[in-house]
């Protein structure tokens, strides 16, 4: 198997705990039956953190990649795998990669709800794109996604451990991945994800983190 594919800098260690907390707290907030003083304290603490952190980030929100690597923008984080571990907007999952096959589990919390008690369809599309990219990067041949086609077979429940599998074919510079999300053996949804295989030699420059002096 080829070496694992990475592109970008590592997230800050603190971001992993913060992402988990934000995801969990958001789920608690949307599940409350009535206002509570803890919400006011939480909002005040978050406003304080925002005021303290905002002056520390680059004023330019563009990532320092390629022709912008020497700019005054922000560092670009590696999105090749496990994005949900440091970004609460992405789902988290467990995955095992064995060449052109991968399998794992996922459990969608309340923050990803669409229909009552069910996962939002857009989140499922995001999930498939993320796990397929993870598979491709671990297998050593990855690239830009060109299409994600999702077929919804059955409603996908929240708060239940689900299983997924991915099989892929790499041919003529193209990667075609077929993925399935299941519960108790029943297929909930399927995805066909297509990507253009990239070249490590052609990856644009990514600026490392800059230490303030």
Ordered per-residue pLDDT tens for the chain, 213 residues: 578 899 999 999 999 999 999 999 999 999 999 999 999 999 999 999 999 999 999 999 999 999 999 999 999 999 999 999 999 999 999 999 999 999 999 999 999 999 999 999 999 999 999 999 999 999 999 999 999 999 999 999 999 999 999 999 999 999 999 999 999 999 999 999 999 999 988 889 999 998 765
pLDDT of residue 200: 86
Which residues have a Cβ under 8 Å from the Cβ of 22 and sit 6 or more positions away? 88
In a domain, residue 30? The reply is yes
In a domain, residue 4? The reply is no
In a domain, residue 213? The reply is no
User: What is the pTM (predicted TM-score) of this model?
Assistant: 0.94
41 CB burial (10 A radius; 0-12, 13-18, 19+)? exposed
Residue 19, classed as helix, strand or coil, is helix
In a domain, residue 106? The reply is yes
Which residues have a Cβ under 8 Å from the Cβ of 93 and sit 6 or more positions away? 84, 104, 105, 106, 127, 130, 131, 164
In a domain, residue 118? The reply is yes
Q: Angle at the Cα of 19 (from 18 to 23), degrees rounded to 5?
A: 115
In a domain, residue 75? The reply is yes
In a domain, residue 209? The reply is no
CATH label of the domain that carries residue 75: 3.10.129.10
pLDDT of residue 176: 98
Residue 200, classed as helix, strand or coil, is helix
Instruction: Supply the range of the domain harboring residue 164.
Output: 14-202
In a domain, residue 169? The reply is yes
pLDDT of residue 213: 55
Q: Angle at the Cα of 43 (from 41 to 45), degrees rounded to 5?
A: 70
The total number of structural domains in the chain stands at 1
């Amino acid at each position: 198997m080829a070496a694992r594919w990475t592109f970008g800098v590592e997230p800050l260690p603190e971001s992993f705990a913060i992402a988990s907390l934000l995801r969990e707290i958001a789920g608690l907030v949307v599940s409350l039956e009535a206002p509570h003083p803890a919400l006011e304290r939480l909002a005040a603490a978050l406003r304080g953190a925002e005021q303290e952190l905002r002056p520390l980030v680059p004023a330019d929100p563009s990532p320092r990649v390629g022709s912008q690597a020497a700019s005054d923008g922000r560092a670009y984080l590696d999105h090749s795998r496990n994005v949900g571990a440091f970004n609460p907007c992405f789902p988290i999952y467990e995955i095992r990669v064995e060449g052109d096959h991968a399998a794992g589990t996922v459990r969608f919390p309340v923050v990803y709800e669409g229909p009552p008690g069910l996962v939002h369809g857009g989140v499922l599309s995001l999930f498939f794109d993320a796990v397929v990219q993870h598979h491709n990067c671990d297998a050593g041949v990855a690239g830009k996604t060109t299409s994600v086609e999702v077929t919804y077979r059955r409603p996908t429940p929240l708060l239940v451990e689900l299983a997924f599998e991915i099989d892929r074919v790499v041919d003529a510079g193209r990667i075609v991945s077929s993925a399935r999300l299941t519960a108790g053996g029943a297929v909930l949804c399927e995805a066909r994800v297509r990507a253009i295989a990239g070249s490590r030699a052609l990856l644009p420059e990514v600026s490392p983190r800059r230490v303030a002096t």
